[in-house]
Homo-oligomer: A and B are copies of this chain.
Amino acid sequence: MAQAGEGRRNGRVTIREVAEDAGVSVAAVSKVLRDAYGVSEALRAKVRASMDKLGYRPLASARGMRGQTYTLGLVLPDLRNPFFADIMTGVNNALERTQYQVMMGISSSTAKLETGVVDSMIDRQMDGIILIGSTETRESLNSIATKKPLVAIGHHDPSAETFDTVNNNDQQGALLVVRHLVAAGYRDIAMLSLQGEPSSILSEREMGYRRGMIEAGLGGAINIAHSPQIMRDVQFATRRLLQGPKRPDAIFCWTDFIALEVISVATELGLRVPQDVGIVGYDNTMYCDFAQNSLTSIDQSGELLGLQATRLVIERINGRSDVEHFVVPPRLVARRSTSRKEG
């Protein structure tokens, strides 16, 4: 085992060869590479020319031994949710003109895997880490933050001191949903939330839902069902809701693709979607727009979240140590799945 392929490393140009070709010292080349102080424009040009000529590319492992690797780690909980693609677009935009590259890992929503992925990113000397939808405890996040600059997207902890957070206001988002549903004439509004690791964005959304219901004088109808992200379980939970003794006339789902599954189950049960039951999702992913779904949802500007998180983590790498908590306001996008008028 573990034998590197023969001669695979061959042909790699080193900083030493560049230095020789350019007729300067190794240190000078390194300085050019890092835009460090102490190189004249002439020398820089000479070195650049040699690098281009020889096709030199710095080896991240070697850089990592003493300095940075110019790599950012991005941890996603799940590859199925297209919302993360929006975040990724923002991250890529933010990285456009920098030396940094992103590497992604998936934590699959399992706490054990999440720490595994994060540890693995620390081992691989990522200069900074962006965690999406983390379910880690505060101590755990603090511990990560002592090792690497850390920014959490989709994790509410406004009193966190050691890492930044980037969020939409989930509580307000849920509130908007309830207000919208009430305005559309729905009363028995249930919420379908995620079962599993406790997540702060979900508890915020649940809180917003409760507040909205109470605000509308529907405190007695509060009904939160929980289901894991597995389709079979979602179907089961949905049937339970829709076939139970007191059928809700609207269901607010914690994310879009769960809502799509709920629409599916409702349809199969012979319920018409806006009329018999209204459905709302969260994240406003591209699937909401399809005519067959036409799903009302909350837009939380994933691209902006990704952009901001990237900005923050790079700022931290460059030395910022005071905390920043960025919050974007959510926006409700109404579609047919909650419009009783024209259905």
Residues of A bordering B, CB below 8 Å? 1-5, 8, 11, 34-36, 57-65, 67-69, 71, 78-80, 82, 84-85, 88, 92, 101-106, 108, 117, 119-120, 122-125, 127, 146-149, 231, 257, 260-261, 263-265, 267-268, 286-287, 289-293, 316-319, 321
Contacts and interface: CB of A to CB of B under 8 A. Distances in A.
A5 B128 CA distance: 10
Most B-side CB within 10 Å, residue of A57, A63, A123: A123
B2 A123 contact: no
A85 B92 contact: no
A196 to B, nearest CB: 18
Chain A contact residues: helix, strand, loop or mixed: mixed
B65 A61 contact: yes
Given A61-B65, A287-B287, A290-B263, A106 B88 contact: yes
Contact of A287 (B36, B108, B260): B260
A8 B148 contact: yes
Given A1-B318, A61-B64, A65-B65, A88 B82 contact: no
Contacts of A104: 103-106
Contacts of A127: 4
Nearest to A128: B5
B319 A291 contact: no
Given A5-B319, A264-B290, 10 more contacts: A5-B148, A5-B149, A57-B123, A69-B124, A79-B82, A79-B84, A80-B286, A92-B108, A101-B105, A265-B291
Contacts of A102: 105
A64 B9 CA distance: 11
Nearest to A64: B61
Given A34-B2, A123-B58, A123-B60, A82 B84 contact: no
B124 A3 contact: no
6 contacts: A2-B68, A8-B148, A78-B85, A79-B79, A101-B124, A263-B292
B69 A3 contact: no
Given A80-B85, A146-B8, A124 B318 contact: no
